[in-house]
Amino acid sequence: MARVRNILITGGGTGIGLAIARTFADLGEAVTITGRREAPLRAAAHETGARALVCDHTDPAALTRLLADADLPDRIDVLVNNAGGNTDFGAAGGDDLAAYAEAFRANLDANLVSAAVTVKAFEPRLAGGGAVINIGSIAADQGAGSYGAAKAGLASWNVALAGVLGPRDITANVVSPGYIADTEFFGDHLTAERRAQLVAATAVRRPGTPADIAGTVAFLASPAARHVTGQVLNVNGGAYTTR
């Protein structure tokens, strides 16, 4: 019988991260989820049976505290860097360069530095035969200011990561979602018109679901995907295609 794997999902309390937690829990794996807010984490842990630990992945001190937490497994088989989101839906305007720079950096921190520092923290605990899966975005290819730039940077960083972890038999990939409904991603920034545009841009004429992303993550963590590394897998209903 295959041994139970330890799965760590950052931002696992809501949306895509929660769906990934459900998927691995259903497979019988030992799931740990993190996030900044206790309430959604507690609810997600109650539903899935996951272990929930509070951590802000942009904060190195918080990561240091997480590493010292006795509830954290010593060995991580699958690390899913899912925490992130667009911290600036065009709010930082005006001519204030300092405010612009701060807002731009916030997206880099939330989506790129957070993943890099998390891998740095967990590198010694990553198990051979395992996988690192980073959640990117269609915005990396279709623009979205600092958010798209951060997700593009994530994909670039992942290429080097695959080279570093490969000799230890650990894969590193990016799953790049298109528009995914039923998440907290857009807050109140998604108008009905914009939503209709996003759906119309897909070949399949529907939004993605968190479960669509979770299925691809589970595949990348499976024995079937051991020769897939350093890649970006687009999961967007055909809204953006590659040859």
Ligand X SMILES: NC(=O)c1ccc[n+]([C@@H]2O[C@H](COP(=O)([O-])OP(=O)(O)OC[C@H]3O[C@@H](n4cnc5c(N)ncnc54)[C@H](OP(=O)(O)O)[C@@H]3O)[C@@H](O)[C@H]2O)c1
Q: Do 210 and 177 form a contact (C-beta atoms < 8 A)?
A: no
Nearest distance from C-beta of residue 178 to ligand X, angstroms:
6
| DSSP three-state, residue 191 | coil
Distance CA(115)–CA(210), nearest Å, equals: 20
Instruction: Name the strands in the sheet holding 232-235, side by side, starting at the edge strand that comes first in the sequence.
Output: 51-54, 30-35, 6-9, 76-81, 126-135, 171-177, 232-235
Nearest distance from C-beta of residue 70 to ligand X, angstroms:
20
Estimate to the nearest angstrom the gap between the alpha carbon of 69 and the chain centroid: 22
Distance CA(229)–CA(151), nearest Å, equals: 17
Instruction: Rule CB under 6 A: say whether 57 interacts with ligand X.
Output: yes
Binding mask 196-215 for ligand X (x = CB under 6 A): --------------------
Binding mask 122-161 for ligand X (x = CB under 6 A): -------------x-x------------------------
Closest among 122, 53, 110, 48 to 82, alpha carbons compared: 110
Nearest distance from C-beta of residue 236 to ligand X, angstroms:
8
Distance CA(45)–CA(209), nearest Å, equals: 20
Instruction: Rule CB under 6 A: say whether 21 interacts with ligand X.
Output: no
Q: Which of 27, 30, 36, 65 binds ligand X (CB under 6 A)?
A: 36
Element (DSSP H or E) covering residue 143: none
Nearest distance from C-beta of residue 167 to ligand X, angstroms:
28
Q: Is residue 179 flagged as an active site residue?
A: no
Nearest distance from C-beta of residue 147 to ligand X, angstroms:
7
> Contact region for ligand X (CB under 6 A) — 5-13, 67-75, 97-105, 219-227?
5-13
Between 40 and 153, whose beta carbon lies closer to ligand X? Answer: 40
In the region spanning residues 85 to 124, those forming contacts with ligand X, defined by CB under 6 A, are 85, 110-111, 114
| Beta carbons within 10 angstroms of residue 110's beta carbon | 22
Instruction: Rule CB under 6 A: say whether 84 interacts with ligand X.
Output: yes
| DSSP three-state, residue 35 | strand
**Active site (catalytic) residues:** 147
Residues that bind ligand X (CB under 6 A): 10-11, 13-17, 34-37, 40, 55-58, 82-85, 110-111, 114, 135, 137, 177, 179-180, 183-185
